[in-house]
Structure 1
Amino acid sequence: MSTMDLLKRITVPRWNGLADVVVLESSGASDCKSLTYDEKRGACSLGSNVRDAACYVCWAFARAYESNELKPYVNQIASALVIATVFDRNVTCRKAASAAFQENVGRQGTFPHGIDILTAADYFTVGNLNNCYLTISVYIAGFEEYTKPLIDHLVAMKVNHWDGAIRELATKALHNLTVRTPEYMANTVLPQLLPMATGKDLHGRHGAILACAEITHALYELATQNNSSGTDFLSSDTIEGLKNIHQKLSDRKQYRGFGGELMRPAVCVLIEKLSLSKMPFKGDPVISGWQWLIDDSLKNLHLFSSGARRGIQDAAVAALAALCRQYYQVEPGVADAEMQDQLVSQYLSALESPEVLTRCGCALALGSLPPFMIHGKLQQILPGLQATCKVVQKEESLTEARRDAATAMSQVCVAVGVCARGSPDRVLCEDNIRPVYEALLGCMNDYSTDSRGDVGAWVRAAAMSSLMDVTLLVVASAPELLSSDLVQRMMCCLAQQAAEKIDRYRAHAGTVFLRLLHSTDPAVPHIPHREELLSIFPPETGNSLNWNAASQAFPHITQLLRLHQYQYHTLLGLTVSVGGLTESTVRYSSQSLFEYLKGIQQDVTVLQQFGDTLLSIFRDNLRNDRVSVPLLKMVDQILANGCFDLFASEESHPFCVELLSLCKEEIKKSKDVQKLLSSIAVFCGMVQFQGDVRKKVLVQLLMLLCHSFPVIRKTTASQVYEMLLTYDDVIDDDQVLADVMASLSDTNWESDIATVRTHRNQLCDWLGVPRPTLIAKGGDKL
């Protein structure tokens, strides 16, 4: 078989389900279509096996034929293999094409620039798809033989690809390749793409619009480098075609339905890129059409699928910022007053919308406005965002809106800048800085939950980032605006978050904490215990400490317990970690806590201070199950490890009395089984305390033996039995002890209340505590 026959055999494939079935359908074909064959069937793609087989055939050419036989077809094969190497969707095919190209370069020696291309696109480098499209392709396109084939392939087969990720990568690749041949892009490629941008094929429309946007912006950047106008490369017909894309899509109602989820972000990207490219559309009616699309997309995000919302929102916000900068300035730095009033008022009013996604979009829109659009409106924008950040009882579900409002607040502050004595309506100054910090610090206490879990963490993370951005901004320009109380509260809140149980948010808090601590140009003022903190977290820990790893984070963070101003918040954060559910977090946080407590066992003052802080946390979070239940579990571990032995030796120590009182109050009328089970363990641990406290603890345990829940009665009996084995000084009389132990172990505590109460009352007599009296609803009281 001749070389030409073999080439024709791999030219046009017909898929029959086998990797090696590559047959001739058109004897007149002359290009290697098998190397780019791709066909979508339902939710799957067919063709990767065909392309892989075609690469193997090309690899075999190098071994089967002499270089003079393949010479007429070298450019064709080389271009096809290079295209498959950098643009194939399947990593196996990219690597197969790279291997085939390498074999031909090594054995034939006639492939153009073979060694240089292999150096950039070897077998391992092509494993990363983004790198192939955005970096390697640009390098290869620098060789004239491959420039237009690469571009033509993207336009013909990747811009309209069924996979959205490939379409987007292809358009970014076209942006990067524009520098290689700008005239070809402007005169040939753009005229090919404009009809596709308003055509019938949805995927082709989406990819073509993005490609037009990217190429136009690349041409503008290139023109700017050469000190010429961005429109120098473009003909009047091309400019008119770009301008008319939006109107044509709008007239055909193509912003609606499923297609709208692709068209809206694509046209928003087009608006952004054309605005950045300074297209001469100022005063043209198309600007109002673009503004309508942006506003409609931001206000109706709830109409789109969850997967499309974020892309539409981000594209619309970016488009708004670029549109304002280019078309809403009457002169540099001065906004069009009418547009400024219209945009600010409509976005502020939308912050009160019942639709959470409308609030999100409009909050981010306010955050994206350029400085000249905010000047004179700051006293309206900041209070609006601050109000959106607050948790209102009827609006607890608006978590995403609070998150985006917190983000937007810092964006607005960064946009307007800082001036200590400036106007509060134009810059961040002494008259408006405190409400900003109060709102962001309030967000740090957002622990809202729903079916998705701790959604308040989104708000807390956004607040941490915003606090860092605003603080670094203020420190750089007017550090005197930062009062000591604001800085102390901010650092304490960050310390609390850095001690909590969710790895991702603990890492974020720790990173922000260290960024502010280690800031030196200039340093953040008023940080409490700065020198001690630097000894715990020297500058090198910024890069070496892995906050995501509980084994690394907690040994550092528990050292903050010895710093008075951080102790409360650090212990509050540790409480939910030590009393949590994740095994590794519980293990390492409790180990670090007990290591600290071991070091202060003999220091009565420090231990008393720790105990007071613990009680203060308990008191402040009474019946707040997010804290109180883990706190009971943590107290149980602390008591079991003998960390309060100094208090146990003193009769009716104030700490013991207060702890018992808080525990009783916490479980009063509670039906939470987990809370009750945790309290049983705490009561059993408190038996080690001397005096009246022990008697009162025994009363509580005996009352729980007649609880309405059988599981509580059974667990109480089991743990009291173990407690009596552990603390042998509770009952002095051996016979009484034996009777009590026998009653606890032999009684069926899950039987009816009347039977159980008889045994419980006998235990009261043996232990010398008063019998609880029966109340009307069937429970007990003293």
Structure 2
Amino acid sequence: MVIIRSRASRGVLLAVIEVSLCPPVVPLILKALTYDEKRGACSVGSNVRDAACYVCWAFARAYEPPELKPFVTQIASALLITAVFDRNINCRRAASAAFQENVGRQGTFPHGIDILTTADYFAVGNLNNCYLSISVYIASFPEYTRPLIDHLAGRKVYHWHGGIRELASKALHNLTPQASDYMANTVLPQLLPMATGLDMQKRHGAILACAEITHALYKLTSQTDRPVTDILPSDCVEGLKVIHQKLFDKQQYRGFGGELMRPAVCALIEKLSLSRMPFKDSPAISGWQWLIDDCLKSLHLFSGSARQGIKEAAVLALAALCQEYYQAEPGVADVHMQEVLVSQYTAELMSPQVLIRCGCALALGSLPRFMIQNKLQQVLAGLQAACRVNQKEVSFTEARRDAAKAMAQVCATVGVSAQGSVDSVLCAENVSQVYWSLLDCLNDYTTDSRGDVGAWVREAAMSSLLELTLLVVTCDPELLSPELCERMMCCLAQQSAEKIDRYRAHAGTIFLRLLHSSQPAVPHIPHQEELLSIFPAAEVEALNWNAPSQAFPHITQLLRLPRYQYRTLLGLTVSVGGLTESTVLFSAQSLFDYIKTIQQDRPAMEQFGTTLLRIFRDHLRNDRVSIPLLKMVDQMLARGCFDIFTSDDDHPFCVELLALCKQEIRKSKDVQKLRSSITVFCGMVQFQGEIRKAVLFQLLLLLCHPFPVIRKTTASQVYEMLLTYDDVIDPSVLDDVMAQLSDTNWEEDLSVVRNYRNQLCDWLGVQRPILVGKGPAQ
């Protein structure tokens, strides 16, 4: 094939393939267009297919239309199959180019111009678009319908790549309306034996294809109010029913094969349930339920890449299965199955296996309304408990995330009615419980080796709050109390001021969505008019929350709104005192720009200082907040943000700030925290009164800290502080103090260093610390 391509490119194709040789050569080229062989982890067919496309391209230039006319239909179909179904983008584009060349030069390719407008060189670049959209258009022409279907059913359904098998099954679903009888009577019977065969790839693809074709046939028959069994052969109906049992008997849900079989059969269960197959009184239903439950309970046995697919497929299958087979009568649940499923899934929310909790939470969220009827309080109580953080379950982050998602799904399922039953709908008696559970999730800052995994919970909770709020204000706005709305908006403001770009953007988007929601409008938003002036509707679309340079200048304006100040400053604290350079730069600059606007306004500065101290007090010894806060305060002191307080002797702000810093570092062994406190103490010497001596006393204590690195850092920082603030000590001893700080080896033994420190105390007029026992104060 490569030799033919090279000769074709030199214009000697006619010398290689005479017209009389075309009949035996064309089948070889058509075979080459679909050649694909897997070796190891990759395929070795793309070069052959590309060369075959080039040969077809050369045919258009080498032969006159009458000479190729007998082979037009075969070549056109093969090129279009490659153009839309080949896994390799270069091969798809090569086939599209060859088809275009033949259409232009031969003029005999059926519907060539029409197809080219849809399947051009650029359109075939997207694989999903090729399988799910372009192929449907091409199949609308009768010449290409069967070839496309046969290729999918005969080759792509058992392709070595799992993604292609899934796309092929979806493509067969889309192509079913073009040839429903052919699908029902030929393709489906052809696929059913493979669905329970020995080859794992064929089995996987055939199960998916059977599910999609059956569901597509149901959609066609439902338009005329006929059951799908009217068009399906009886042996196919029986074959679909027993697929699960045959796989179970052969133990094909175990091991690596189980990673493919479980989601495939769950997809089959979902599609057969949606197709309303007449299996209600069949033992197959109990087998299907067993598989769904086992998938949700066995997620920890599978690799991380397979878990998500199995979980999602099982949850979708459960929802469809309940909807079709667990109704005693329309809208009324089978009491036995309702009790079994709800009790089972709520109990498993407390499982020691985090993935079992995840699966059961999402399962509860997927249950239809009639299954939750009269069980809502039990379901919500279980999900709320699963959302709660405690010391024993701090690592169950994924479970809390999925429980937060499920809570909004359950509420959307049951609906809202202010005067309704607490066990059947979201009403005045239980709406606040749901809100407070989700709002508590916004305080989940769990970290592990993967980083801030609590962000997954916060993201899910924010999305659920949006869904829940829009649902409530649409049905009964009076259920949303001013207290709940204020807490929700303030928490979103905090999240939109934090340091991780993705979650800041998610929070900011939801904040603005609620603010600008008009149909329905969200009531009781605090400072709504001021917020609309900060975030006008005309600028909302252009605001990029992911960019710190755009987000923080807007967010810091919330600091002037009293109800938002605490939460916004709390979010800004971890950004200003963080590690990411761009986030620190723009958040700090925006904060300082705001402070400049109130720096001469004593009441505003007093309020700001009170809020800052409240944050420090509320998060004392919480390193996630306290260390960034110390870094932020250091920057604020260095920039003179609190100059309005320096003229007052022992201003209450300074006194409490010092007390909180002392509490924060008491008995601490965190070097980062201690270093941050040193810079804060050095910045606080600018305050007047007795507070200055208290600050110097703390610095002198740290000069004899048990950690040599802290003693050395303190000496260096005090030296720089004395150069900056020359009015701190008597000028007559300044040179001696500076020499002592710079010449002393502060990493020596404590018994030696203590003498140098005590001499500094005498020069600075500070009482010598008294040794009271083991501890950092020396």
TM category (shorter chain) comes to over 0.9
Change (3 A) 1:28 1:627: closer
Q: Which residue of 2 aligns with 1:768?
A: 765
Quick check: 2:29–2:52 contact (8 Å CA) kept in 1? no
Q: Match of 1:330, SS?
A: strand
Distance 1:559 1:632 in 2: 22
Q: Distance in 2 between matches of 1:476 and 1:335?
A: 27
Matched, 1:607 2:611: no
For 1:774, what is the secondary structure of its paired residue? coil
- 1:230-309 matches, within 5 Å, as 230-309=228-307
The verdict on how the C-alpha distance between 1:120 and 1:27 changes in structure 2, with shifts beyond 3 A counting, is closer
Q: Secondary structure at the match of 1:650?
A: coil
Match of 1:196 in 2: 194
Counterpart of 2:43 in 1: which secondary structure?
strand
| Structure 2 residue matching 1:173: 3-state secondary structure | helix
For the 8 Å contact 1:448–1:455, the answer to whether it is kept is: yes
Partner of 2:19: none
Which range is displaced more, 634-643 or 98-107? 98-107
- What is the aligned partner in structure 2 of residue 755 from structure 1? 752
8 A contact 1:495–1:510 mirrored in 2: yes
Distance, in Å, in 2 between the alignment partners of 1:540 and 1:756 is 64
Query: What's the offset of the Cα at 1:771?
Result: 1.5
Shift of 1:331: 1.3
In structure 2, distance between residues paired with 1:685 and 1:221: 73
Which one of 37, 40, 50 corresponds to residue 38 of structure 2? Answer: 40
- For the aligned residue pairs, the C-alpha RMSD in angstroms reads 1.8
| Structure 1 partner of 2:392 | 394
* Contact kept in structure 2, 1:499 and 1:506, CA below 8 Å: yes
Contact 2:210 2:268 in 1 (8 A): yes
Aligned partner of 1:742 among 729, 739, 756: 739
| Offset at residue 150 of structure 1 (A) | 1.1
Contact 2:195-2:204 at 8 Å conserved across structures: yes
Give a deviation string over 1:314-369, Cα, whole Å, max 9, x none.
10110010011111111111111111111111111111211111111111111111
**Number of matched pairs:** 762
Name the SS of the counterpart of 2:242 in structure 1: helix
Per-residue deviation, 1:28: 10
Give the Å deviation of 1:756.
2.1
Counterparts in 2 of 1:367-386, with a 5 A limit? 367-386=365-384
Please identify, of 346-355 and 594-603, the stretch whose mean Cα deviation from structure 2 is larger: 346-355
1:649 is matched with 647
Offset, 1:780 = 3.0
Which one of 147, 150, 166 corresponds to residue 164 of structure 2? 166
**Deviation (angstroms), 1:541:** 3.6
1:166-223 CA-partner distances (Å, limit 9, x unpaired): 1111111111111211111111111111011111110110111001111111111122
Three-state SS of the structure 1 residue aligned to 2:444 is: coil
User: Cα deviations across residues 102-161 of structure 1 (Å, max 9, x unaligned)?
Assistant: 112222222111111111111111111111111111111111111111111111111101
Letter in 1 for 2:655: V
Match of 2:15 in 1: none
Whole-Å separation in 2 of the counterparts to 1:638 and 1:395: 38
CA distance in 1, matches of 2:424, 2:242: 37
Please state how far the C-alpha of 1:509 moved relative to its aligned partner.
Answer: 0.8
1:637 aligned partner = 635
TM-score, with length taken from structure 1 = 0.95
Secondary structure class of the residue paired with 2:213: helix
The residue type paired with residue 61 of structure 2 is R
1:571 corresponds to which of 569, 574, 586: 569
Does 2:509 correspond to 1:505? no
Q: 2:559 aligns with which of 549, 558, 561?
A: 561
Shift of 1:391: 0.9
CA contact (8 A) 1:31 1:76 kept: no
Amino acid at match of 2:155: M
Question: SS where residue 215 of structure 2 aligns?
Answer: helix
Structure 1 residues without counterparts, runs of 5 or longer: 11-23
User: What do residues 250-286 of structure 1 show as CA deviations (whole Å, max 9, x unaligned)?
Assistant: 1111111111111111000000001111111111111
Question: How big is the shift at 1:31?
Answer: 6.0
C-alpha contact (below 8 Å) 2:4/2:55 kept by paired residues: no
Q: Distance in 1 between matches of 2:761 and 2:58?
A: 92
Letter in 2 for 1:749: W
Structure 1 residues 28, 87: closer, same or farther in 2, change over 3 A? closer
Mapped to 1, the partners of 2:649 and 2:240 lie a distance apart of 86
Could you report, residue by residue, the CA deviation over 1:6-43 in whole angstroms, capped at 9, with x for unpaired residues? 79x99xxxxxxxxxxxxx9x989556111111111111
Give the structure 2 partner of residue 13 of structure 1.
Answer: none
Alignment correspondent of 1:320 = 318
Q: How far is 1:774 from its partner?
A: 2.5
Deviation per CA, 1:594-635: give whole Å up to 9, x if none.
Answer: 110010011000011000000000000000000000000000
Residue 723 of structure 2 is matched in structure 1 by 725
Report 1:268-667 matches (<5 A): 268-667=266-665
Contact 2:375 2:424 in 1 (8 A): yes
Give 3-state SS (helix, strand or coil) of 1:757's partner. Answer: helix
Report the Cα distance in structure 2 between the residues aligned to 1:83 and 1:120, rounded to whole angstroms. Answer: 14
Q: Tell me the secondary structure at the aligned position of residue 165 of structure 1.
A: helix
Distance 1:279 1:744, change over 3 A: same
Q: Does 1:223 align with 2:216?
A: no
1:731 shift after superposition: 2.3
In structure 2, the residue matched to 1:128 is 126
CA distance in 2, matches of 1:41, 1:578: 53
CA contact (8 A) 1:151 1:177 kept: yes
Find the aligned partners of 2:184 and 2:588 in 1 and give their Cα distance. Answer: 65
CA distance in 2, matches of 1:525, 1:212: 50
What secondary structure does 1:98 align onto?
helix
Q: Are 1:137 and 2:132 counterparts?
A: no
Aligned-partner residue type, residue 680 of structure 2: V
